Amino acid sequence: MSAPDISARATVDREHSLFLLREMLRIRRFEEKAAEMYSLQKIHGFLHLYIGEEATGVGAMQAFTQQDAIVATYREHGHALARGMSANVLMAEMYGKATGCSHGHGGSMHFFDASRRFYGGYAIVGGGLPVAVGLALANKMQKRPAITGCYFGDGAVAEGEFHESLNLAALWKLPVVFLCENNLYAMGTALERHQAQTDISRKADAYGLPSSAVDGMDVLAVEDATRKSADFVRGGNGPCLLEFRTYRFRAHSMADPDLYRTKEEIETWKKRDPIVLFEAKLREMGLLADADLARIESEIAAEIAEAVRFAEASPREPIEDLLKDVEAGPSK
């Protein structure tokens, strides 16, 4: 990639920058703890870590207000945290506890928060895109200024739902920003082994959507591009697509032995760790001191320790409530 390692914005607001760094670190440390708890068999099922991709979740989320709707994927710990969900309810969800955001019905792949318009974790690849289009349709029909941000991965662009959704959103000029987190692998199948056209941003051309490819390891570049796209969409110009070129440092899930890529490839990408890059940039600009980082790390450590304590101490959902939310209760 010929792009500079990190975007060279003339002015970088210190407070906001430290916030972005903090959010990325918060996701990183949360997931490291989740992996540890999975190894200790406190967390079960599938656990898909986002480590390496934090800049896309955190950067893009800055462009959305609390009135906007967010749709994510099964690799959505980062999106949920960046949206403002507490580490407590997420950890408890992975523990399968009643205090989890989804009462233990969803687990790692299915975080939801209706109060934050976080429409959650979809584990059928591409399955969230039509829902995002519909949320945008509702916004448009109700003449609300809100827009929808829809995250998905490179694997999803092989699904028919991706193409159907882009076409429908463009046809009806719906206010949705499609956010492709291209981490180069659909589970274990490399992009060039699943796409005839590997330039994902170009797929938007077929539907008349403006699109661009962005360095997904540069949180400021991601934020900038998403703000521009969100402004465009808020202006009633219809949808657009951003492709964030990123990489996951961990395996697809905790069950994945990671046999389909080389250690060298992973190590090469780790040199562009979005957190390391951003820390270095902030230090270079004199915006980050050791004491800042120590304070941030210590606050995050306390938050995550509390999340684990909360999850451990929380009750399980009573089995008597198993069928409670299959349908609405009579009072609703």
Partner 1 sequence: MTKLTYREAVRAAMRKALRDDPRVFLMGEDVGRYGGAFAVSLGLLAEFGPERVRDAPLSESAFVGAGIGAALGGMRPIVEIMTINFSMLAMDQILNNAATLRHMSGGQLSVPLVCRVATGGGRQMAAQHSHSLEGWYAHIPGIKVMTPATVPDAYGMVLAALREPDPVFIFEHATLYPLEGELDEGATSFDITHAAVVQSGSDVTLITYGGTLGKTMQATKRLASEGIEAEVIDLRTLRPLDTPTIVTSVAKTHRAVIIDEAWRTGSFAAEISAQIMEKAFDDLDAPVARVCSAEAPMPYAKHLEEATLPQVDQIIAAAREMVPRHG
**Contacting residues toward partner 1, per CB under 8 A:** 69, 100-106, 110, 112-114, 119-120, 122, 124, 127, 129-139, 141-142, 160-161, 164-165, 167-168, 171-172, 324-328, 332
CB of 251 to partner 1, least distance (A): 24
| Bridging pattern class, strands 176-182 and 240-245 | parallel
Phi-psi domain of 214 (left: phi exceeds 0; alpha: psi -120 through 50; beta: other): beta
Write down the least CB distance from residue 327 to partner 1, Å.
Answer: 5
Nearest C-alpha neighbor of 281 from the set 228, 227, 226, 217: 217
In a 13 Å sphere around the CA of 143, the CA atoms on its Cβ side amount to 0
Residue closer to partner 1, measured from CB, 122 or 269: 122
Q: What is the DSSP string of 201-231?
A: HHHGGGGT--EEEEETT-HHHHHHHHHHHHH
Pick between residue 70 and residue 307 the one whose CB is nearest to partner 1: 70
**Residue among 9 and 163 whose Cβ is closer to partner 1:** 163
| Cβ distance to partner 1 smaller for residue 172 or 249 | 172
From CA 71, how far away is CA 49, in angstroms rounded? 18
Q: Alpha carbon of 278 to those of 7, 180, 190, 243, 294: distances in Å?
A: 10, 21, 27, 20, 16
Q: Please answer whether residues 35 and 47 qualify as being in contact, where contact means their C-beta atoms are separated by less than 8 angstroms.
A: yes
Alpha helices in the chain (DSSP H): 14-39, 54-61, 77-82, 87-94, 128-141, 160-171, 191-194, 200-203, 219-234, 263-270, 274-284, 290-313
Q: Toward partner 1, which CB reaches closer, 142 or 262? A: 142
Rounded to the nearest whole angstrom, what is the least distance from the CB of residue 314 to partner 1 in the complex? Answer: 13
Whichever of 98 and 293 has its CB closer to partner 1, that residue is 98
Cα–Cα distance, 136 to 160 (Å, whole number): 19
Cβ of residue 64: shortest distance to partner 1, in angstroms? 15
Q: Across the strands, what pairs with 118?
A: 70, 113
* H or E stretch covering 47: none
CB of 165 to partner 1, least distance (A): 5
1 vs 220: CA distance, rounded Å: 17
Provide the minimum distance between the beta carbon of 82 and partner 1 in the complex, in angstroms, as a whole number: 19
Helix, strand or coil, per DSSP, at residue 176: strand
Nearer to partner 1, 28 or 97 (CB): 97
Q: Closer to partner 1 by CB, 134 or 210: give it.
A: 134
Least distance CB 31 / partner 1 (angstroms):
21
Q: Which is nearer to partner 1, 175 or 210 (CB)?
A: 175
In the complex, the smallest distance separating the C-beta of residue 105 from partner 1, rounded to whole angstroms, is 5
Smallest distance, partner 1 to C-beta of residue 201, A: 20
